[in-house]
Structure 1
Amino acid sequence: MTVKPAPERYPESHFAGAYWGPRREAPDECARRAADFINLLAPCDPSLAHWYKTAKSPKDARKYPLTPPDVNTLTEVFRGGVNREKGGPVFEDLGYRVWFHNGGLPHEGADMRIKCGDYCGATPNSCFMSLPRRGPDAERVLTASVLGHVLRSMAVAWEPDWAVAMSRTHRDMDDENEGGVAAVWLGWVTYFARHWGTVPPLPAPVRIEPVEDKGMLIFLTPEPFSVANPEHVALARRVRGLLAKAGLMRSVIAP
């Protein structure tokens, strides 16, 4: 009898996302922010230092490099990402949507999806990154220090209201805790802009770091946060409660 091999199991998938409310910005303004973000990411990790326009495959994507970032090139990319009905007018209030890739293989690469310039307020503007799931890039990127660098870069370049880096499993658990209400997620690493509210003192081993004069980063644990660790889950619930009392874990438009 032939025994079929068990399907390959991948580690938890992680993402980093920054979110902000209505903000009217032209394509060149979005392009400047994107260029700043790409430049800030470059020293973070080699896998996040090179980005390409979308293509049918990672191999094809390498034909359209975006690094070093050129504002004029990025401006045209954002202009091409306008929202419109086929053959119809442009919906200016919906802003622009673009998608970049770092050229990595499936499950080993990273994607960047940006929605910028939306001022209608139906859904938030965002910079969202799907991070490597396996391989040496994942081992380097999925650390508190690198994810902190990613969120810091997002905060400086995009000036979001809040940002988070976490696993999708952790996000789903956080959604369940909120009873299905769309609220700010508390991740392994979380950022709050200064205008969003004041971060209160938090229990060890939580670490708080300022991001220039823009806001604060919160690191729940120095080691990888896992929903399979009861101590991590208990810590997250305690910290969420303290942040909720401070008015930071408010309901938001679902990203």
Structure 2
Amino acid sequence: MIETYYASAYWGARKESPEDCGQRAEVMFNELRTIASDFSHWLKQGRSRNEALKHSIEADRATLTKMFRRGKDRMFEDLGFRLNGWNGADDHEASSFNIRAGLYAERIVNACVFYLPNAGPDNKEGPNAQRVLTATVLSELVRAMAVAWEPEWAIAASNSYEDLLPKPQLTRRLGWVTYYSDQVGRVPPLPAPVRMERIDDKGTLLVLTPERFTATNPEHVALANRVGELLDRAGLLGPPLP
């Protein structure tokens, strides 16, 4: 089975300008450069691969502000701004991102989503996936999103494990790496081998296992289920804040 992974952060209605979004994105991209080479260089998406490879994204505040302004919804102001890009790697070895920010419409969330390298059709991983899909890299990726966007929650997770969960995708849930803002509540004591870390005065980062979390490992699934029950009792799982 090919197990795929992603990382994302979510927050509720927050009216922000393109300048605000550009500043937050600059903070995030500056942090990403230090995490892995996969996150050090980004390209605009184009109509073809060759076209996209010609257009780098300069991740400074002024450039990012202009890109967010161009990504404004042309019909509805309250739908905020969009920005997306990728790192130019081949096929399943690529990383890409999609940001929707400055949105303040009801029943729609702001989000920063990273699609990560994974195994190819032959179920073999290349060097990019092996480098990125580690607890160290993904916890730093989630931390960068948490610091920059101040989300309600953020996650790095296995899609295969999430397929086992009964709750809808946009509810707060638990992943291999998870961040909960203090806005949603305090994280209770959790069993080993879960690692907990405070992120400034903003919230708490959890890492379930130091090795790669997989849905095919019954010990990993049992641990996630146990931790999930404790978080649910503490009110950390469930629908977004109003």
CA distance in 2 between counterparts of 1:208 and 1:148 reads 11
Quote the residue 1:118 is aligned against: 103
Are 2:200 and 1:197 aligned? no
Structure 1 counterpart of 2:87, from 102, 111, 115: 102
- Residue 181 (structure 1) shift: 7.7
**Aligned partners of 2:12 and 2:240 also within 8 Å:** no
- Give the 3-state SS of the residue equivalent to 2:216 in structure 1: coil
Structure 2 counterpart of 1:231, from 196, 219, 223: 219
Quote the residue 2:122 is aligned against: none
Quote the residue 1:146 is aligned against: 137
Quote the residue 1:87 is aligned against: none
CA distance in 2 between counterparts of 1:129 and 1:161 reads 17
**Aligned partners of 1:78 and 1:98 also within 8 Å:** yes
In structure 1, stretches of 5+ residues that fail to align are 1-8, 85-89
**Aligned partners of 2:158 and 2:215 also within 8 Å:** no
Quote the residue 1:218 is aligned against: 206
Quote the residue 1:4 is aligned against: none
CA distance in 2 between counterparts of 1:238 and 1:41 reads 32
- Residue 121 (structure 1) shift: 2.6
CA distance in 2 between counterparts of 1:91 and 1:81 reads 12
Quote the residue 1:79 is aligned against: 69
Whichever of the two has the greater Rg, that structure is 1
- Residue 171 (structure 1) shift: 1.7
- Structure 1 residues 26, 181: CA separation in 2 closer, same or farther (over 3 Å shift)? closer
CA distance in 2 between counterparts of 1:31 and 1:17 reads 18
CA distance in 2 between counterparts of 1:76 and 1:45 reads 26
State the Cα deviation string for residues 18-59 of structure 1 (Å, max 9, x = none): 000000001111111111111110010001111111113444
- Residue 246 (structure 1) shift: 0.6
- Residue 229 (structure 1) shift: 1.0
Cα RMSD (Å): 1.5
TM-score by length of 1: 0.88
TM-score by length of 2: 0.92
- Residue 173 (structure 1) shift: 1.4
Are 2:48 and 1:63 aligned? no
State the Cα deviation string for residues 213-249 of structure 1 (Å, max 9, x = none): 1111111111111111111111111100000111100
Letter matched to residue 140 of structure 1: R
State the Cα deviation string for residues 185-222 of structure 1 (Å, max 9, x = none): 21000000112110000001111011111111111111
Give percent identity, aligned residues only. 46
In structure 2, stretches of 5+ residues that fail to align are 119-124
CA distance in 1 between counterparts of 2:164 and 2:71 reads 33
**Aligned partners of 1:51 and 1:66 also within 8 Å:** yes
CA distance in 2 between counterparts of 1:43 and 1:227 reads 29
What is the total number of aligned residue pairs between the two structures? Answer: 235
- Residue 16 (structure 1) shift: 0.2
**Aligned partners of 1:12 and 1:169 also within 8 Å:** yes
